Structure 1
Amino acid sequence: MGFSVEGGDFGALVEVFGKEVWMNWRRGLTMVLAFSAALLSSTVWGQGATTGSLSGKVVDEKGQPIPGASVTVTSNYLQGERGTATDVNGDFVIPYLPPASDYRVKAEAEGFNKVIQSNITVNLGSTTTMQITLAPGGTEIQVTAQAPAIALKEGKVSTQITQEELNTIPVGRSYQDALLLAPQVMPSGAGGNPAVAGGNSTSNQWVVNGLNTTDPVTGTFGSNLNFNFVREMEIDTGGLSAEYSGTSGGLFNVLTKSGTNEFHGEIFGYYTNDSMSANAHSTDLAVTKPTPFHRYDYGFDVGGPILKDRFWFFVGYNPVINSVHYEGEQIATNVNPYRPDVGSQLSVPYKYDDYRRTWTWATKFNYRVNDKHNLELAIFADPARMWDSEGPYTPALYNESRMNRRYQGGYNTVLRWYATWTPKIFMETTLGYNDKSLQVQPWDTSDLAYRTVESFDYNTGLYLSRGSQSMFSMNDRTTRQAQIKVTWLVGKHEIKFGGEGEWARSITFQDYSGGQFVEVLYNLRSANPASPNIHDYYYQWYVWNQNPRTDERTRYYAGFIQDSWSVTDFFNIKAGVRYEKNEMVPGAGQTLSLDSWSPRIHMAWDWAKNGKSKFYAFFGQYYDRPPGAFTSALDPGHGSYVARYSHYGTKHDYTDLSGNLADLVEPGIAPQYTNEFIVGNSYELKPDLTFDVRYTYRDVGRILEDVGYILPNGGYGYILMNPGTSYWPSQEQSWKAALGSTYAKPPRPIRHYEGLTLTLNRRFANR
């Protein structure tokens, strides 16, 4: 299916549509969704901005607006020249500018001097505001002063980190290592997934080049990049307007490098090993030397023009090789009370190397179709191969049982189209696709034929066969995404509306090597207490999966409308509403659909009336997107069978099935959300030096959780519900009858966050 549209017709369509939105936002939002669906019928969703904007006012020496003044901008990071004209109020907006600090702004009008202001900074995801004063005459005036560092119209609480800062600040090689530099971002204990403003490690949104890279199943980060490929990062910790997806954590927006009109590149290399690492000192004064390891990290990147001011490219490649050596022994004590050698010890030596290799690469192409249309294609990937061990945790007679091969990572593709249909109507469209995989297989594929056998005649357990200690698995996760945003300037109003969708699928096959996991107890036949023959043991348990394959899908749809209204030159209100719909579709069982409406409002006041002050306040609701893991909980038939045999395997005692029931879903269930209130004040103490004090309050209004309960047969079941805020009377009656006076309703969860943040920001003049 395709479409074609001419600029004039599209402008008329949006103008009529915008009037309808202004009259009735609910009806207008429905039209937005319908229009977006028609336009984006082929693919997927993007989230964070990949550009910034420049807005301002052109006035004369008396402060009166100059309508029709020409404003143009140039930069080494901008293809060609971008320009517009001021409206009747002297205002102008130039959107979709790549972040840079070398912008050159030229303003001119008939009968006035031409003014050229240099070294203007435009940050990722932000709007730089400036005022240009023209004096009567016919000469050219060069101005080098920076625009004010405070953006009155910007409501987000964000921290920008440039590539130059990443190169100079001592952090790790991954972009995730730099997130903790932002206020309100704290370690969560979950690897590279931090906690933000009271949220948890799965409450964040991860965006690279406008593509949502958040893992659709776990809610954690889904792609790796080293900072050599990063142009700029924006860390948003609050105050997100209606155009942004809900998150009770942070929004991490990363932009990779692009080419320019000049060729630039670098070759880099890093090496480290255990001799370069400090010893670990524990609280009991023990000193632990680092495990022997080697790490090689090297690569290159290069970018430049294919056609100057028309077609640019960037490409980067970064292999990373890690090897870690493990060597030692484990002691297992025989605890079989029926053997004369009970208490004897078995020494189990181990010696192996973990070997991991990752190939991270990124490429980007920027093409200027004409002065009004730009295209950007970015592809980045992080495939990895790992040969490592799951131990030494439980002693094993065969090292192969705890060694495996992992294949993980994937690739991401995103295409963005920036369009200027008229001086008042702008549009950005995003299409994207990502594919991630995780495969865990035995070190040697021939070991798939061996059943895993574990003896509990030893205090730590003892693996007796070459079968893998962990289940082998094959998982593939794909996501298609699409987004459209339209900006319409109407007088003092900047109206923005749009829609987006995401369609994710996760297919998994997970099973035991040999098809079964066998547990044995009481070896009474063999002189060898660690006999690998399962029929030497009086008791034998056989465990196997009911259905090892799952096929889960999630769907996400959203639409928004917001208005940024400049009530005066010194007072701005931005208000909007966002509609979101999450659908979880298991391979079988019940489909769950959750709808929500999120109001967001922000106000800002330049009380000094000089562009150097801002008192601001924000209120908003964020609805968390439920992780895809909930979808698998709704899918029945994926339990485990356990069969017990006694008398050395000759007598079948029982066969149980557990974990095969899908979660029950409480009627009237609703999505989880968080309320946020922010109030603060910023002031530019001197050029490029800003002080900000901010109070943040967050409160969880409702949570979505699966709550466990005891089944009549003694097993466990789960119910997906909103604990503490809604109940299921019929189900509660059965629980109360079973538990009597010991039954208590699930309490209402409480999570309050309050934070007072003081920041002193120094803006560097050059990047």
Structure 2
Amino acid sequence: MNSKGLRRTALCIAMGVCLSSALSLQSAHAANDDGSLVGRATAGAEVTVRNPDTGFTRTVRADANGNYRFPFLPVGNYTLQANKDGAPLGQPIEVTVSLGNAANVNVGGDATNLATVQVVGSRVVTPVDVTSTESATNVTREELGRLPVERDVLSVATLAPGVNKGEFGGVSFGGSSVAENTVYINGLNVTDFYNRVGFSSLPFSFFQEFQVKTGGYSVEFGRTTGGVINAVTRSGTNEFQAGADMVFDNLLQAHSSNKPGIISRYDETNKNNNYSVWGSGALIKDRLFFFGIYEKRDLDTTNTNDTGETQFVDSSDNDFWGAKLDWQINDSHLLGLFAFSDKNENVEDSYPFDWTTGNRLDSRENRTFSQSGGDNWALTYTGYLTDTFSMKALYGKNERNSSVNSLNDDACNLVQDRRESSDFIGCTSNTAVIDRTDEREAARLDFEWSLGYHLLRFGADRETNTSDYLSRYPGDGLRYEINRVPGSRRVNGTPVRDGVTAYVRTREVANEGEFETLNTAYYVEDNWSVTPNVVLNLGLRLEAFDNKDAAGNSYIKMDDMLAPRFGFSWDVNGDARTKVFGNLGRYFLPVANVINIKQAGPFLDARRFFEFDGFTTFTNPSTGRAYPAPILGAEIGTVDDTQGNGMVGDLRSEVDADMDPVYQDELILGFQSMLADNWSWGVRGIYRRLNNAIDDMEISDTGYCQGNVDKADGDGYSDAGSYLGFVMGNPGKPTSVYVDTDCDGTPDSYTTIDTSQAGWALYDDAGNYLGQRGWDKPKRTYKALEFVIDRAWDDQWSFNASYTLSYSEGNAEGPVNSDTDFADSGRTEAFDNPFVDFNGVGYLPNDHRHQFKFRGTYAFNENWQVGATLDAQSGRPVSEYGAGNPVDDTEFLSHYICAQNCTEDFAPSERIYRLSRRGHYDRLPWTFDLGASISYHTTIGRSNLNAKLAFYNLLDQERVLEVDETLEDQNGIGTLRPEFGRGTVYQSPRYAQLMVSIDF
């Protein structure tokens, strides 16, 4: 690196500008909630870093080559000074340490000669960081204050290229599903481990900086095959400060259009206002600091179900509190305590409703209460043990409650008429009475040891994730579903007598217990400066996952999972202006706790089938209103409790004893260069491949006791000893399970079933056994090119633009299914039988082929600014799901549509099907989400007043984001559903948000 490049690097840091809202390729040499400061000075010089806001001071001695390093520095502003033999070397340099990054600053000598570099305003673009092999985007609260960005963490994440909003309120990183990400706040993992969708969050007024890691991240991060959202909160300083923030949401809200024949939601004006006060300062100057915040949340929303027949009125009046204490015991030892409570209770009233008139049809019908959130805390210790050896330790707990109960839970049964629609017709629509508390106990150690040209980083982390769970249906504990008799005239594997046109399925589902998962990891990494222009990052992470059943026994246990990571960075010209970089890594995904709960607990899932004999009436004792209730006729077949009989059974027959983990391999090659002092551009090529899936498969044929196999008993499966039931394993790979080999009806020994070839029994039209069939292996690949150009903020204007061309293909989206709206992570329909994904390779739901992102700010003067964002992306692919297949008579989801001979007059082998490949039926339209804001800032005495009015979806577009993709009724091959292709999710209507804050 020549002196000009060094001067530019020093100037960037000195001006506090090492934030990049472009394609940030930052150093990974930092822990979860801090940064680092590295560089060169005169050999043997004493280099001192000091935070003028807190008085924190630390001094290290440069080694024989002049290298120095300050690891584990809290995010903030510092001054840097070098001294040799008691004399200062140059002037102090101002430095900004940002989250997750290593700031590179040379001190002494030429580092003080900065006059040759032109400075425009207070920020120049970050020079190319030639030590970095990571892909990440950093955004501070100051930058967010200049832009119309919604005040939630996921909206911040979508500023990064390749990140899109997805199903179930989540985001997709690089083609992954929404259940594959990890979120950290101040180093504490706050990700939902029950379903891996969602996380604990804080008021925006509490956050200081975000880092969105989209690829190539260090081995200290794991348990994700998507991306990492990393955030740090504000902290106190020696100066007492206080303030108040008021956010008025959903102002000037447009109404959704309601089109006859299209499923939509009638939304009225909603209120979501937040009021927060905060204060910070020093309890002991230069030693003990605090930051505290209290927020009052006032939420009122009104909307309907998809058909507009039921109106829901929600209200939530909750308080949030958060605090951070920082104790600088001395300059070598720091202690921090972070705590917050995000407990939330929502009250929802439901009413019969006529969306065509906008009128309620009756008085309050039901009231439902739901609770979420919990108490959270983390204690962090940082020790600078020597100039070259440092450590960090964290211990904390993350709590998430999830409970739902209703005033009608004890009195009202859940009744659903599915013959024409899926509406609930009883006096409750509460599909489950749930009480669940998830608690994560997290502990980790991180070490850094600098050895000349090698920086060794190593550590360990352990998480104990415990779910205390109780669930049941309301009323008498049964769910009543009225269905049409299918064309096959078979229900519950039994022929239905003539004249019966409908049947009732009752289902009792209940579960209770405490379920624990233990995740552990060890890592080691060498960052090797091979030459002055080449840096290699060599890392290895060793992981283990242990999911336990309700009795505390290991249910799914996988260990010795090696995740190698390799990266390089080449400073092409040696001037820190142009870089070629790349990385290759493996990332493992844990098994969500929902798997333990749904399959490894005392789970009861009893299903009975009855002829439908019409309706009687039931009167709700709390309202006096009468409702239809089905009359149960003769029972059809026997009780089906194959998925759970209420006992923690012998799980050896339900889980693969030699299961392989889910992991993703990732390859990234990139280029980054400076165009000018305040312009940069970059390009990345990305390839991701998901390996394996863990999901449930219905093993209907183990290969044993075949002498007894037939379909004469009408159950649709082979006889005892051959049928096993739903097994958790790796679809398309050998599965080791405990089965019945001596045909006495009791499992007695292990066998291995190659599910790529076997596991599913096949029969001819007469019910004669033909052999076995297996599952296709899960596949998912993501290929993308990302282009980014960035013009840095200079106190007058900034601009950022990115374009992503991507292809997400395969037959497995991930642990959840967006196209069928199935959110139980790892228990999707994708592999229930071999035909769901038979010939199902195609475009996946998170495949948005083209995406453009623009954002920018312009300041008219020191008081007034305007900002804008635009996210334009092509629509997601659409599939059409059928109910049959050309191989056997299974009636479920498939990619085959019956084209001829579909009625009951034809045998299954006589039906003619057409293949409709995944994602090839259609594509949804492009969406354009335009945001705009105007901001005002002024100083009143010692106080600062800031106000911002932001508009979201300014064009008020109502483009469809999701449609119903099930063409054939799953209970009737050849029966087409009128709901197919109708919109189920649309863009939110235009609304405005006013934010006013004052601080002093």
> Structure 1 length as normaliser, TM-score?
0.79
The whole-number CA distance in structure 2 between the counterparts of 1:366 and 1:147 is: 32
1:665 deviates by 2.1
Matching residue of 1:721: 729
Q: How does 1:36-115 map to 2 (within 5 A)?
A: 49-58=32-41, 66-100=42-76, 102-110=77-85, 114-115=89-90
One-letter code of the match for 1:626? V
**Local SS of the residue matching 2:154:** helix
Instruction: Please give the per-residue CA displacement for 1:302-349, whole angstroms capped at 9, x wherever unaligned.
Output: 212112211111111222212134689999xxxxxxxxxxxxxxxxx8
Does residue 548 of the first structure (1) align with residue 511 of the second (2)? yes
For residues 681 and 363 of structure 1, the distance between their equivalents in structure 2, rounded to whole angstroms, comes to: 41
Show the counterpart of 2:644: 660
What's the C-alpha RMSD, in Å, of the aligned pairs? 3.8
Structure 1 pair 682–540 and aligned structure 2 pair: CA distance change class (3 A): closer
Contact 1:52/1:122, CA 8 A, preserved across alignment: yes
Matched, 1:577 2:540: yes
Return the alpha-carbon distance in structure 2 between the equivalents of residues 76 and 678 of structure 1: 39
The letter of the residue matching 2:101 is S
Q: Could you tell me the percent identity over the aligned residues?
A: 22
Q: Which residue of 2 aligns with 1:735?
A: 760
| Pairwise CA distance, 1:543 | 4.7
> 1: CA distance between counterparts of 2:416 and 2:691?
49
User: 1: CA distance between counterparts of 2:776 and 2:632?
Assistant: 48
SS at match of 1:88: coil
Structure 2 vs 1, CA of residues 131 and 458 (structure 1 numbering), >3 Å: closer, same or farther?
closer
Partner of 2:288: 311
> Deviation of residue 636 (structure 1)?
5.3
Question: Which residues in structure 2 correspond to 1:531-546 (within 5 Å)?
Answer: 543=506, 545=508
Cα separation, 2, equivalents of 1:481 and 1:215: 13
Q: Tell me the distance in 1 between the aligned counterparts of 2:388 and 2:294.
A: 41
8 A contact 1:519–1:540 mirrored in 2: no
Q: Which moved more, 1:649-658 or 1:426-435?
A: 649-658
Q: Deviations over 1:632-681 (max 9, x none)?
A: 24315412334567897798777614221767223432101111111112
Give the deviation of 1:539 after TM superposition. Answer: 11
Say if 2:455 is the partner of 1:494: yes
Q: What's the offset of the Cα at 1:114?
A: 2.2
Aligned equivalent of 2:130 = 152
Q: In structure 2, what is the equivalent of residue 606 of structure 1? A: 571
The within-5 A match list for 1:671-686 is 671-686=661-676
SS of alignment partner, residue 219 of structure 2: coil
Question: CA 1:288–1:580 in 2, change beyond 3 Å: closer, same or farther?
Answer: closer
Q: CA deviation at 1:572?
A: 1.1
Q: Which has the higher helix share?
A: 1
User: Do the aligned partners of 1:148 and 1:612 also contact (CA within 8 Å) in 2?
Assistant: no
Deviations 1:109-151 (Å, cap 9, x if unpaired)? 1397522343323220110112234279xxx989898896333
Q: Is the 8 A contact 2:481 2:506 kept in 1?
A: no
Q: Which residue is equivalent to 1:503?
A: 464
Instruction: Measure how far apart 1:94 and its partner are.
Output: 0.7
Q: How many Å apart are 1:614 and its aligned residue?
A: 2.3
Runs of 5+ in structure 1 lacking a partner?
A: 1-46, 59-65, 332-348, 523-537
1:374-385 correspondence runs (5 A): 374-385=334-345
1: CA distance between counterparts of 2:700 and 2:791? 58
Tell me the amino acid that sits aligned with residue 86 of structure 1. Answer: A
Structure 1's 741 and 684: CA in aligned 2 closer, same or farther, altered over 3 A? farther
Structure 1 residue 549 displacement after superposition: 1.0
SS of structure 1 residue aligned to 2:572: coil
Cα displacement (A) at 1:380: 1.9
- 1:412 is aligned, of 371, 376, 379, to 376
1:257, distance to aligned residue in structure 2 (A): 0.7
Q: 1:456-501: per-residue Cα shift (whole Å, max 9, x none)?
A: 5996688676566432111111110100011111121111111110
Could you tell me how far 1:622 is from its partner in structure 2?
A: 0.6
Range with greater deviation from structure 2 (158-167 or 403-412): 403-412
Encode CA deviations 1:565-590: one digit per residue, 9 max, x unaligned. 11222221110110000011011476
- Give yes or no for the alignment of 1:121 onto 2:96: yes
Q: Distance in 2 between matches of 1:545 and 1:593?
A: 30
The 3 A distance-change label for structure 1 pair 456 and 155 is closer
Q: Matches of 2:775 and 2:60 in 1, distance apart?
A: 59
Q: Does 1:615 align with 2:541?
A: no
The runs of 5 or more residues in structure 2 that have no matched partner are 1-29, 484-500, 614-630, 646-650, 702-710, 718-723, 736-751, 797-1000
Residue 381 of structure 1: how far off its partner (Å): 2.3
Report the residue type matching 1:250 in the other structure.
G
CA deviations on 1:29-66 (whole Å, 9 max, x unpaired) are xxxxxxxxxxxxxxxxxx961110000011xxxxxxx3
- Give, in whole Å, the separation in 1 of the partners of 2:414 and 2:50: 69
Question: Cα distance 1:87–1:272, how it changes in 2: closer, same or farther (>3 A)?
Answer: closer
Identify the match of residue 357 of structure 1 among 317, 326, 335: 317
* SS of residue paired to 1:132: coil
Aligned to 1:238, which of 199, 215, 221? 215
Amino acid at match of 2:644: N
TM-superposition CA deviations, 1:732-760 (whole Å, max 9, x none): 65524557669542112221212212223
**How far apart are 1:207 and its partner, in Å?**
0.6
Counterpart residue type for residue 384 of structure 2 = T
Q: 1:235 to 1:306 in 2, by over 3 A?
A: same
1:493–1:387 Cα change, 3 Å? same
- In structure 1, the residue corresponding to 2:158 is in which secondary structure? helix
Question: Structure 1 counterpart of 2:447, which letter?
Answer: V
1:368 equivalent to 2:397? Answer no
Q: 2-side partners of 1:182 and 1:462: how far apart? A: 39
Deviation at 1:621, TM superposition (A): 0.6
8 A Cα contact 1:380 1:412, kept in partner: yes
Alpha-carbon distance change, 622 to 455 in structure 1, aligned in 2, over 3 angstroms: closer
Counterpart of 2:177?
200
Q: Is the 8 A contact 1:479 1:503 kept in 2?
A: yes
Change (3 A) 1:158 1:78: farther
Would the alpha carbon gap of residues 405 and 394 (structure 1) be closer, same or farther in structure 2, given more than 3 Å must change? farther
